[in-house]
Chain A
């Protein structure tokens, strides 16, 4: 096995890698999907694929909330932001995401008042400080950030802040995993479950993956050793003929999740009948909107949102990358027309996107590996 790069716990990593190799049945290929973009980042950053036997393949999943925002939603947000009374607030991660007609950065350069915030509470503060303006928060993220949006909306209501609203794009991870399991072009042997999302939802919601689809899932931490350890746990399950949900990241993730956060979520946000995911299409019950009790704070009700559907650019293969069918470097425009500076697809924007992670770390490693093997 080749070790291109070393990290702090390389010794332990090697020991785990040896155990992983020993668990593989000869001739069998194992495909494990890491659902979360944070894992993708670690895998490329530390070159974990170099530690794994060739039989074990990691497939990147849809778990980057920036990557799955469809172009139409970006356009809708920009349409809101162009109104003179509006201040649109957004996490920095969203600023470069291309819509059908440019990104937030482009719209800002053209005069729209779009401001970066770290927290939805910062957006709330901007609303308090600008009573004459309408402050809209572009809410994105899985269950990790949705409770924060929910608390913020509760506060806005309690304070009677009439100039604050949320353009809600929160998505839920379970339906996306189900869509991938139901998709005919991907055969997987197991999952690395998302660490931070599970902090909120806990481990129970994954049970159907083990029981109905007969695939093991291990909720995994973010350090290189966590990921190797989780792969080892998946292989152990498969070796024993077990399909279970296990929690490798129990030092952070409680089995039942964060009960307080789930309660707040249920009060403020509810499932939409369906939502479009970039590259994956419409997935039913896969996203959240504000409940009737908080409808006054829903930007989609407050403003006329065009709600257009914009097809992804022809050259963009993000859908295949998000489903794990293509590796980033297999996309026709990867690294040429599509780079982090000029992204065509979303996966190139967020540091957790598979294409950006691979562009920043993986490709040099791969080049080196190719050079090494050519010698």
Chain B
């Protein structure tokens, strides 16, 4: 729950400006972007995701580093990622 997972924004939903589709490790998921400034992120940007919400915008290098770090911690990350993949927020 405390882990931040990096995701790449692939689509901002036009009918729901508080939602975005992100790619996390090759899996597409909807996340909430209502905690960022309107217009702060666009397609191709990277965000750090906590419990289904983008909490901060990060650059690609940081996203890669964060992902490497998560992979290095093993189980806790696998569990968190599995939970994210099962999550279907709208």
Contact = CB atoms under 8 A, between A and B. Distances in A.
Interface of A: 7-8, 36-38, 41-42, 45, 64-66, 91-93, 116-122, 125, 140-142, 144-145, 147-148, 151, 196, 199-200, 222-223, 251-254, 258-261, 264, 351-352
Contact of B50 (A36, A125, A144, A264): A144
21 contacts: A45-B73, A91-B51, A92-B83, A117-B83, A119-B52, A121-B89, A125-B89, A141-B2, A145-B1, A148-B32, A148-B51, A148-B52, A199-B48, A200-B55, A222-B69, A251-B62, A252-B58, A252-B62, A260-B35, A264-B34, A264-B35
A196 B4 contact: yes
Given A8-B68, A65-B2, A116-B83, A122 B56 contact: no
B3 interface: yes
Nearest to B31: A119
A147 B35 contact: yes
Contacts, number: 118
Contact of A258 (B3, B55, B59, B80): B55
Contacts of A254: 56
Contacts of B80: 118
Interface in B37-78: 37, 48, 50-53, 55-56, 58-59, 62, 65-66, 68-69, 72-73, 75-76
Contacts of A351: 73, 75-76
A109 B55 CA distance: 35
A107 B29 CA distance: 31
B15 interface: no
Given A92-B83, A121-B32, A148 B72 contact: no
A141 B1 contact: yes
A364 B11 CA distance: 45
A260 B40 CA distance: 11
5 closest A-B pairs by beta carbon, nearest first, are: A119-B52, A118-B87, A121-B89, A351-B76, A118-B83
A121 B32 CA distance: 9
A351 B2 CA distance: 10
Given A41-B76, A45-B72, A147-B35, A118 B52 contact: yes
Given A41-B76, A141-B2, A147-B35, A122 B58 contact: no
Given A65-B2, A251-B59, A252-B62, A151 B84 contact: no
Interface string B1-45: 111100000000000000000000000000010111100000000
